[in-house]
A and B are shown apart, each in its own frame.
Chain A
Amino acid sequence: MKKSFSLLVVLVLALTFAGAVFANGGSESSTDAAGSGNLEASLALAGQVDALTAADGQPLIKVSGTGREVPARPADPEALPEDNPLHWWDMEFAGWNSTKKNIPDSPKDGAIGKKVIMIVHGDHPWTTACINGATKVADVYNMDFKALSPNWDLAVQNQMIDQAINERPDLLLLIPLDAKTAPQQARKINQAGVPLIMFNTLPEAEAMDYCIAWTGPDDFGQFRKLSHLWADKLGKEGGVAYIQHAPGGSPYFARYWGPRSELAEYAPGIKVLDAQAPGFEADKTQQLVSDWLTRFGDEIVGICAADDSAQGLGISEALKKAGREDIVVIAAGNSKQGMDLVKSGDIYAITYQTAEGDGALAVKTAADWFNGEELPPVRYLPQHMITIDDVEDFYPPQW
């Protein structure tokens, strides 16, 4: 009896598995279904997409209008000192000189009804806003759109990539969780014949060879620009300290070496006193800044933070406690806490980092590819610095 029951269970499981496999096999790319007749209708939706707005009232899709001036690559950037901006060329301009490999041609049959899977890096309110932005654009094109989150686990992200490949989408959007692993992920997707667009976080340069394009914030460019504002406010002299992003990802380099290497040329009178990565906890940042004030006293006149929320609040509390509101603070933005601190004068300037726009630009770029548009290898979100003069324009916050 027991044996028969076991056999029955095994049989049911086997049938369920086989059913799932066949069902999966049936879920094919909608390319054929979409048909070439979609193209005109898809192109006609451009105006509707342009009219979309983010939760902060700003236009949802903003592409950097003027483009980015890309200097010639030095023969060996690594050989240059770290405070030379060109030392970071391979990271800052990753993708601009990529040699595309096995990139599929655009079907040129429109974006309507396409099956697009987006794999992000992990759960966070920023990510929720990013997916909201992406969904807004996907809805306009009536895409079969799905977002997956590996919750900051690289192994899970790799599994999700396998799962997505099995589903045969028309295109895959990916935020690489780890810059160094990104080339392997991109190669795998590429070899499976699935068109790929990477976005938000910069991967190692090799990954760019296997994707149609990369879209996202120009973190290096933003921070180079922000550092000019900062230096001007400081009179191009004095001691400054940096609170860094989590090591490993491109923001760690862009938000520390970006301004540091820029100021080595623009304001050499500014001296770097220290740089630390206390994480994204306000209390730890507060202790760090309090200790800096003890250690450097009047020598420290500026702080640059990789995050305007927890880090921004930690800085602000420490400065208030010590009565050192003379210190000029800049940060990557633009969280609600960060904008509140700009409004109250605790932070001098933050960068505009549209979360919804980030996701939306990736989906829009996918739509442009389906529409047969010629795409640049890199598409940046626009650069903008938020100060007390225009902070009100960015309320309510996106996340």
Chain B
Amino acid sequence: MSDLEQNKTDLRSVSQTGFLKILNVAGIYGVVVLFILLGIFLQLLGVINNFMTASNMLNIVDAVSMLGIVALGMAFITYSGHFADLSAPTTMALTGIVAVQMLQFGFVAAIVSAFIVGTIIGLINAFAIGKLKVNPIIWTLALNYMTLGVIRVIWANKQIYPDMIASSEKAVELFDNIYRLRFFNKIALPMIMLIILVFLFHFVMSKSKFGIQLKITGAAKKSAEYSGINVERMIGAAFIISALTATLGGLTVTSLSRVGAWYNGAGYDFKAVTAIVIGGMTLAGGRGSIIGVLGGVLVIGLMNNLMTLLGVGTFSQDMIRGIIFIIVVGLNAKSLRNLGRDDA
């Protein structure tokens, strides 16, 4: 180890704050446990009620399952060192409205069409960012606006309803159940989707060859290129995965709201990035995990739940979420600087 590297390592160990130490040692699940302990403590003091109940815990996971689905896919983009997919909201809206429109040909046609459209958006992003090397933030933001325009032009700024378009009542019921189907009358389908995606994506990101190559691409793009990794394909694949999970999120949110509309999915870009960053994935790429992102999603759910149980107002809740995001990004950037990577 060179002197310079040694100095950086020493500096890192000295400059770690208490919170960062907790994060580094226990990971995001340390924070999850801290929030749960805080809830139990407040319940014991009689400040809040019914926090530590099975139904409340299920509510928390239920409430963030759609966010989790979108965040898990977007995490591949962050992992590849390309920050985020800001076209996710309109990908959700477009795939949702396409599905509703295609319900006239049945449920299967609706789902297949939505995924075809989602894949096309993913391919467009993959080509522009992977091949043409356009800045991912600028490109996905522009695509977001463009897609929004496309939806408004095609559907004349109107919203469409599954039950007024579908070929049969059965198709409407099936579409309705994407969000509403519950197993054992408790566990909603989006929760099951989330769990399956966690296992699948965890394997892909941390165990597969693709995951390892994506990590190298995110951590050191030049090195990845020199070592023969097809970086363009890696980046492209990350954007396609993100578009596909946005499609799944879009179908779920459209099923919940029972309407195909341009505004479905609004805000999911920032919410997903927040979960990813809180989950310990660095925006500079190459560091973090799917399990961490799940932890970030759970922290958001717990935080929302505790704040409402405490009677914190909506605007104060937004402020607190923003502050936590800034703190985590700040700590993340500091940690990266200590590692000699000040590009976060």
A334 to chain B, nearest CB (A): 14
* A277 interface residue (CB < 8 Å to B): yes
* Cβ–Cβ contact B63 & A128, under 8 A: no
Question: Contact between B59 and A287 (Cβ–Cβ < 8 Å)?
Answer: yes
Contact A291 B305 (CB under 8 A): yes
Once A287-B63, A295-B48 are accepted as A-B contacts, the answer to whether A282 and B304 lie under 8 Å apart by CB is no
Chain A interface residue bracket vs B: 35 or more
With contacts A278-B314, A291-B309, A295-B50 taken as known, whether A313 is within 8 angstroms of B258 at the C-beta atoms is: yes
A-B contact count (CB 8 A): 90
Q: Check B63–A290 contact: CB distance below 8 A.
A: yes
8 Å CB interface, A55-113 against B: none
Question: Are the C-beta atoms of B257 and A313 separated by less than 8 Å?
Answer: yes
Question: Is A26 on the interface with B (CB-CB < 8 A)?
Answer: no
Q: Inside 8 A of A322's CB, which chain B residues have their CB?
A: 55
Interchain CB contact under 8 A, B304 and A287 = yes
Residues of chain B within 8 A (CB-CB) of A295 are 48-50, 308-309, 311
Once the chains are docked, how many angstroms separate the CA of A396 from the CA of B305? Answer: 38
Contact status A294-B56, CB under 8 Å: yes
Q: Is there an interface contact between A123 and B256, defined as CB atoms closer than 8 Å? A: no
CB within 8 Å of A: which B242-263 residues: 253, 256-259, 261-263
* B49 contact from A276, A294, A336, Cβ within 8 A: A294
Q: Could you say which residues of chain A place their CB within 8 Å of the CB of B56?
A: 294
Main SS of chain A's interface residues? helix
The distance in angstroms between the C-alpha atoms of A239 and B288, with both chains bound, is 45
Q: How far is the CB of B321 from chain A (nearest CB, A)?
A: 12
**A290 and B59 contact, CB distance less than 8 A:** yes
Chain A positions within 8 Å of B228 at CB level: none
Closest-CB distance, B234 to chain A (whole angstroms): 32
Which residue of chain A lies nearest to B259 when distances are taken between CB atoms in the complex? A337
Verify A336–B50 contact, CB threshold 8 A: no
Q: Across the interface, which residues of A come within 8 angstroms of B161, CB to CB?
A: 336
Cβ of B157 within 8 Å of any chain A Cβ, yes or no, is yes
Which residue from B49, B180, B257, B308 sits with its C-beta under 8 Å from A288?
A: B308
CB distance from A303 to the nearest CB of B (A): 14
Extra contacts, 12 of them, besides A128-B158, A283-B66 (Cβ < 8 A), are A123-B152, A124-B263, A276-B308, A278-B314, A286-B256, A291-B59, A291-B309, A295-B308, A295-B311, A322-B55, A336-B164, A337-B259
| A interface residues with partner B (beta carbon < 8 Å) | 123-125, 127-128, 244, 247, 274, 276-283, 286-288, 290-292, 294-295, 297, 309-310, 313, 317, 321-322, 336-337, 340, 396, 399
Query: What are 24 A-B pairs at a CB distance below 8 A?
Result: A123-B152, A124-B157, A127-B157, A128-B158, A274-B311, A278-B314, A282-B253, A283-B67, A287-B301, A287-B305, A288-B308, A290-B59, A291-B308, A291-B309, A294-B51, A294-B55, A294-B59, A309-B259, A310-B257, A313-B258, A317-B256, A336-B164, A340-B258, A399-B159
